[in-house]
Structure 1
């Protein structure tokens, strides 16, 4: 049989497709080896890994072979003929979810992956993949200046950016946004197990940094085997033992003395901002110059064979400590906290090659974070930036967060055409906090205290904790997967199940101290504080100063069950065209504290996933591809706390004649007239558990998003170098969402019109979880154990229909590593727009997932359309490293990012009213009440973040010893990344804290590391 030279690489598509064993998917933990050989009778290929995995596959009559579902490792590939070795290729390294071509016809070995292509010839393009991915290997992590977190690694990918500073993961990492989606729409995996935070979808559990073998970042278009993400996916594969014993250790230091001083935050300057009696324009808002900490990290690992070729072990530990930390709060809080954090992590992996056809993997991992601190009074000095530390107030909240993960995975190569993979694991997460003593109430908004009663300045009091968590709070997540792949002719068909179950115990918060806190306010003395019937609060009179006794308490247990089934066919239509045809069916059920479902979405929710790749020239040098997919997202466990449990959120308003100089609590209280006593509640949250049948609209559907991708990749031989370039267009449309609507007037009016009890129609909270933009069907109790259905068309609420869209165009140029240097530059133009960010509101830091202020009523949705919070119009990313000499290497990481939209909230319209008792939370700005749709009040500044590193690996130590120095944010450009969005403290009263900086880029810092690998 004759092979044209340009056809030798062509078999990439067919070999990958026919060899696929359910592995080339978004959260794959394995890879593929395929290739060609001169066809002859009795030929086979033997594949042996460094960890003893042995596969023997036949070479077909066309001279092709392939082997899928191979654990990540270094392989030796041998061509056999009649039982004798004919040729051998050594040192073949796999990349997760990709194919590595190993041919025996004098063609070079090619590794196809996200960031790495290893070859000496013109690099080929992986024409088997229809998704959008970036893969970063352990080797690249050593060569690039990257902060030590999975989230920081993910930001190397196009369209992935750091989100709002309001949100952090269970282990304290700042969350990230994919493709304009909110930070609560991503999925995390460790060795194929789902480690996403089950309470809020805020990030997930990750591996110790030194244990990461490869991290795969999926930004779109992944196959039917995986779901539960409207944003993106972080999938980490840990290291494993081999037939050789290896061990190593490293020590890392981030000295506070070499950190640049963090920038202070000041009140804004300009005629539109408040000067006030204290002349705050341009004055200090938060002294940050000394907000630093010394960090040191120690880690070690060991791995090798317990039984050669059979049983392998790998283990690593990491201890990350921040010591001598100091954090001065703003002028309204006036505290100085010294702190220490400890983040212990460990990872262990056991691989048992039971036979050549049966592999068992056991994974254990832990990622925890513990915080301790002491709080002191901080005395700001008028007219100066720096103040002085005062007396000791008490210990800060002691917290312990994180999780332990255990996973078992079985892989069976039943026949050459049939592969079975089964995975089961559990994650146990804790969310513990301990508050030391103190019966005084916490003080909120001390800046609005009547200055006549605090001549020396606002009093924050000794209570330093606003809320406390239940010390028994914890949750358990289990994940079961079964994937079966069968190869039939030109089809590789994979089917399976993906079940995820979470049980959360005693989650939520309660107020500290006496069980309530004081919230100070100021407004027009002649205007009512709130006007909504049933929740109205009269005018404060006097000079407009008032205080609210606020109770916000929620603590309960909940359960979430998610199941899914899928089938996918990768069909090689001809030599150049590959189709990926799949469909996934998801089911979600959310349970209240009594174990009764309040949201059951078990009818078929079909998510088609269709992709295609076209090898234009038939030689893997030019690929055109496209992908269309639908992605469903379940509601996390935390939705039950406010939506389906008995939460309390009430305010009782008073005027006062004095303020205790020691505690900050008001004295001489006089009740302000209000519609309900003892307190009003905007959402009728009075601690009464709702009937689970009256929580959610009967016809509610799950959140889902449609995505469309089209692009190309092309090889280029220019300037004596081999390159790859390409472009990709991405368009996302959020078709459906779940959030709560809370307009009492509409509910009662439609109940009366349909002959139903208007009071019963409000349920226990007056809020219902439904699909914004769609008609609702609400159960109303008839008092006799039965229910009537209240039909409310969407038009009745007076709100626009759901709208969230994202469009992006990416271009890139990559120089694969050639033994000397690697580089990639990526530019992305994008626009995220509509009237809904997603399940959280980054502008104000609201953490009630899928129960945000959005969609609560027509008032908060007026002028809600515009550029959304995670919209970055321009993103330029450049990474590179250069091997100067065999001993010296330098690397760089540059990100140039345009700013995100600023927001401005105030009272409603020019009349400065509060029609829905939501205070200054409407899309109107300042006392003038001019409309302020998202994106209309400016943007945060551009960011230019340049980081550099250098490494020295001396040959006298056999290159096992390394000295590294990394400098992050070399230019020390500390740009403001988030401003306070609330423009008014009361109707017609400009807030002194409007537009003050809330988040600023980290200052320049230096990281030193010494490591030894044996």
Structure 2
């Protein structure tokens, strides 16, 4: 799978409700990103003997004194509904009921009436709503979006964390070809899809291998989801993109249970359109790889079908009233369907597939006493995909019988066990400790029997038609590679946080440690240990060498040839990440808040021999923020934030980097093809097995494979903005975000230049062992330590940007203007409108390369050699110049609710990667069609775009009064206007010099056509 999974290489603002400083509150400190708690604070008329107590729906109670200025704060409260009571000399003189907390936020509950028993008015029946509380959180200096379970129940959304995250301004979907559909990903602020962090109940649930995506809760178990798009505090790190943090529901003193059935029937789904090859005229001297294909069908999708059924249920309540509570939820989603492969696929078949996504969640809460809480969480999630192939005849557009082969079976099973302990040591000091463990089984195999002698056939349509009778010959093997059946990962993490209120200063400090261990990850060639790649050069090029740099000769004849590829990267590895932080949230005056923090991250990566190959320590990151409550009434806030964010390397970096790997090809011409698609009458035209980056399975020196002075990828970010209330029911605001990548990590594989540098310094390059690729900081000077051949020690070589031949270093810049208008839900309706103008540009997407679907984290094709980076500057894959998002819900009557969700966005940038046609050697480093060059001309990324993305989703919900609102029936229609435009396009221009791939610029993944979801829900 050239230029996709296998790469070629060379030698979170809260939206509304109760978040503010109302009357000059002193030191208030909301919870932080990835928090699972919220705060309550407020102002009361000062009087002697006053206290404020809060009592939750679990019976948990805390009581704090009111200070001399009439201020109070109660922090780190578990999410839920609270009764807040003002007491004088132990007697309740005023109270507020049903105060709901938002994760990571501070809720203002102030009492304005004189606090005397004579004048007090009992307010037990009052429910605090958005209209009665300031909707601007003047204590927040970050950028985040909080979505509650109530909003999730109203809106038509995809039932996963990423779909919820896309409600946040500036968030865009990650490229669909990253992982070929195994992962759902999101890009925040122009960053790569692997640069985010996922959390469940405070524990990291990111993909432990590649950090692409993460595990989410059952949809009905989500209490709140917090999405950080920038500016988060020193408490948290290891992300320079965004943060998706989910908090699960918990049991209370009231019993609750419910169930839901969702059905997405195939009869209510529109069919995707078929795809046809382009018939565009080519420049003089260029020809298509197959000149019979232009204008013909590439992939029939008219007969594709899909239907999905989801069952979910939950139950929660007290095991011991006021003491011990549980909540359990389960969800079983199953999708079935049929999908026809393209004419280029192997096999050309109709796949009858099944997806199973069961999820389970359990939570136990123990109120040991009013000063100590213990929370236990268990999570089990499975993502299973399997299928069976049936024959398909493109001439008649008909499905035949079973082929006897199966699609790959993919099954990712993840389990988490999480414990959190909170101790309110005094009214001003709180200690929290969170410990968790995770287990992931990463299974990817093809279950078809008898594949040992059947090599996968890549591009069978490029077989010589004179030798196959005009019909491609294949076999039952449908996968070029397979994973080890025992592949998987384990994680464990510990964080300790100590918070201390000292006058106007809220001090916090702690540690944040995570460890990741991966076993038998990577992949190897399926079948007999190799697979076959059929190729053809363009007419007129039959006598031109295929690759002079690799010593591969010309095919001659009609230009047909085949390569026998061997690939193996299976290995084990681990990562150790440790951090410490300090933070002071200082209420300088009644209107000014400063957030002053610093974080120190250390990252250490180990290879299969448990030897470190990356060791980054003492990475100090400032996190600074300021908030100005302009009028002192929470009606206008100005805020600013600056932060530095370091990004760790996940375990995947050790694959094909710090551990042994094999990636070779033998080139042949052939005179026949047997019944299994194997060529016969072979004549070798390469000097044996060749590898463009020297991967022959040899042992790797972990000291030499990465620069001794390697710096972690990090990014600087600045945000400035405002929020303003408009009357009682509206909020508006805008912010400007600037992000700049300061240091990147990738690998460079033109290591013959190391030998040149040694020679230039008077040394002998044959006296040291030079790796095929090394990990470095593009654009920076790095020092490499190479082992001496005679075992006498090591030789250090310092390489600059110029030594590698690069004209520039890694660049990625992002700027954005976000504007919004919001009406929080007031019992009748809610709505929000966002517009984002942004640019993401440079020559480095980050750790991934979306335009070719490359998920070799920080080991992409980029920077492998200087030739590949010529003309690489342009718009990056996650750029969307314009985005408009809107969602809302309207309660027509007590029984009927309508809602909708809209997203419009500029299309993703396109790339054109070809040979350096017109040069003496169009493939100077043996990478094939990987240069920023099309038709012999420079081709910058983003010179063209995919079409605009337009999506409108609508829903209606009916709650019959007969069932007291406990039963609901819903209809959601997604993509009402039935847009079916491509999301991304094939970017590899040529299969050989001046030979254009027939599928170039065709859509690779498309917008899901219109479909409907029917729901029936019962909640008690």
CA distances 1:687-716 after superposition (whole Å, capped 9, x unpaired): 112111111011111110000101011111
Structure 2 partner of 1:616: 630
Specify the SS of the correspondent of 2:753: helix
Change (3 A) 1:988 1:331: closer
Paired with 1:813 and 1:272, the residues of 2 have a C-alpha distance of 48
Paired with 2:951 and 2:557, the residues of 1 have a C-alpha distance of 51
Change (3 A) 1:119 1:397: closer
Paired with 1:988 and 1:761, the residues of 2 have a C-alpha distance of 40
Structure 1 partner of 2:730: 723
- Aligned residue runs from structure 1 range 305-704, under 5 A: 305-333=318-346, 334-381=348-395, 386-436=397-447, 437=449, 438=451, 439-523=453-537, 524-532=541-549, 535-602=550-617, 604-660=618-674, 662-674=675-687, 677=688, 679-704=689-714
Structure 2 partner of 1:920: 929
Change (3 A) 1:356 1:330: farther
CA distances 1:50-97 after superposition (whole Å, capped 9, x unpaired): 012210011111111110000000001111111111112111100000
Specify the SS of the correspondent of 2:131: coil
Paired with 1:166 and 1:9, the residues of 2 have a C-alpha distance of 40
Residue number among 787, 794, 818 corresponding to 1:810 in the alignment: 818
Structure 2 partner of 1:4: none
Specify the SS of the correspondent of 1:424: strand
Q: Which runs of 5+ in 1 are unaligned?
A: 1-7, 108-115
- Structure 1 residues 621-630 or 750-759, which shifts more? 750-759
Change (3 A) 1:11 1:182: closer
- Structure 1 residues 696-705 or 912-921, which shifts more? 912-921
Q: Is the 8 A contact 2:185 2:212 kept in 1?
A: yes
Paired with 2:190 and 2:31, the residues of 1 have a C-alpha distance of 26
The alpha-carbon deviation at position 762 of structure 1 amounts to 5.4
Structure 2 partner of 1:949: 955
Paired with 1:889 and 1:442, the residues of 2 have a C-alpha distance of 53
Paired with 2:966 and 2:159, the residues of 1 have a C-alpha distance of 21
Paired with 1:310 and 1:441, the residues of 2 have a C-alpha distance of 62
The alpha-carbon deviation at position 994 of structure 1 amounts to 1.1
Change (3 A) 1:801 1:495: same
Paired with 2:568 and 2:763, the residues of 1 have a C-alpha distance of 31
The reply on whether 1:164 has 2:175 as its aligned counterpart is: yes
Structure 2 partner of 1:235: 245
The alpha-carbon deviation at position 11 of structure 1 amounts to 4.1
- Aligned residue runs from structure 1 range 50-89, under 5 A: 50-89=57-96
Specify the SS of the correspondent of 1:751: helix
The alpha-carbon deviation at position 793 of structure 1 amounts to 1.6
The alpha-carbon deviation at position 106 of structure 1 amounts to 5.6
Structure 2 partner of 1:26: 33
Paired with 1:612 and 1:144, the residues of 2 have a C-alpha distance of 34
Specify the SS of the correspondent of 2:146: strand
The alpha-carbon deviation at position 526 of structure 1 amounts to 2.0
Specify the SS of the correspondent of 2:558: coil
The alpha-carbon deviation at position 13 of structure 1 amounts to 8.3
Specify the SS of the correspondent of 2:152: helix
The alpha-carbon deviation at position 489 of structure 1 amounts to 1.2
The reply on whether 1:966 has 2:995 as its aligned counterpart is: no
Specify the SS of the correspondent of 1:501: strand
Change (3 A) 1:256 1:756: farther
Paired with 2:145 and 2:258, the residues of 1 have a C-alpha distance of 28
Paired with 2:65 and 2:44, the residues of 1 have a C-alpha distance of 11
- Aligned residue runs from structure 1 range 116-155, under 5 A: 118-121=129-132, 123-155=134-166
Structure 1 partner of 2:4: none
Residue number among 261, 266, 273 corresponding to 1:263 in the alignment: 273
Structure 2 partner of 1:110: none
The alpha-carbon deviation at position 387 of structure 1 amounts to 4.2
Change (3 A) 1:330 1:883: farther
Paired with 1:562 and 1:296, the residues of 2 have a C-alpha distance of 40
Paired with 1:9 and 1:847, the residues of 2 have a C-alpha distance of 40
The alpha-carbon deviation at position 151 of structure 1 amounts to 0.3
- Aligned residue runs from structure 1 range 295-306, under 5 A: 295-306=308-319
Paired with 2:905 and 2:810, the residues of 1 have a C-alpha distance of 28
Paired with 2:961 and 2:476, the residues of 1 have a C-alpha distance of 59
Q: Is the 8 A contact 1:811 1:826 kept in 2?
A: yes
Q: Which runs of 5+ in 2 are unaligned?
A: 1-17, 115-126
- Which aligned runs of 4 or more in structure 1 are off by greater than 6 angstroms? none
Q: Is the 8 A contact 2:269 2:1010 kept in 1?
A: yes
The alpha-carbon deviation at position 887 of structure 1 amounts to 0.5
CA distances 1:889-919 after superposition (whole Å, capped 9, x unpaired): 0000000111111110110142261101101
Change (3 A) 1:9 1:552: closer
Specify the SS of the correspondent of 1:750: helix
Paired with 2:249 and 2:48, the residues of 1 have a C-alpha distance of 38
- Aligned residue runs from structure 1 range 801-840, under 5 A: 801-840=809-848
Specify the SS of the correspondent of 2:850: coil
Structure 1 partner of 2:264: 254
Structure 2 partner of 1:41: 48
The alpha-carbon deviation at position 858 of structure 1 amounts to 0.8
Specify the SS of the correspondent of 1:471: coil
Specify the SS of the correspondent of 1:293: strand
Residue number among 204, 214, 228 corresponding to 1:218 in the alignment: 228
- Structure 1 residues 990-999 or 819-828, which shifts more? 990-999
The alpha-carbon deviation at position 122 of structure 1 amounts to 7.7
Q: Is the 8 A contact 1:536 1:917 kept in 2?
A: no
The reply on whether 1:874 has 2:882 as its aligned counterpart is: yes
Paired with 2:787 and 2:702, the residues of 1 have a C-alpha distance of 11
TM-score of the superposition, structure 1-length normalised? Answer: 0.94
Change (3 A) 1:279 1:263: same
The reply on whether 1:188 has 2:211 as its aligned counterpart is: no
Specify the SS of the correspondent of 1:368: strand
Specify the SS of the correspondent of 1:321: strand
Paired with 1:119 and 1:733, the residues of 2 have a C-alpha distance of 37
Residue number among 999, 1005, 1019 corresponding to 1:1013 in the alignment: 1019
Change (3 A) 1:53 1:863: same
Specify the SS of the correspondent of 2:237: coil
The alpha-carbon deviation at position 550 of structure 1 amounts to 0.4
The alpha-carbon deviation at position 948 of structure 1 amounts to 0.2
**Size of the alignment, in residue pairs?**
978
The alpha-carbon deviation at position 465 of structure 1 amounts to 1.7
Q: Is the 8 A contact 2:954 2:976 kept in 1?
A: yes
Structure 2 partner of 1:939: 945
The reply on whether 1:982 has 2:988 as its aligned counterpart is: yes
Paired with 1:863 and 1:13, the residues of 2 have a C-alpha distance of 57
Q: Is the 8 A contact 1:13 1:127 kept in 2?
A: no
Q: Is the 8 A contact 1:175 1:202 kept in 2?
A: yes
The alpha-carbon deviation at position 24 of structure 1 amounts to 2.1
Change (3 A) 1:332 1:368: closer
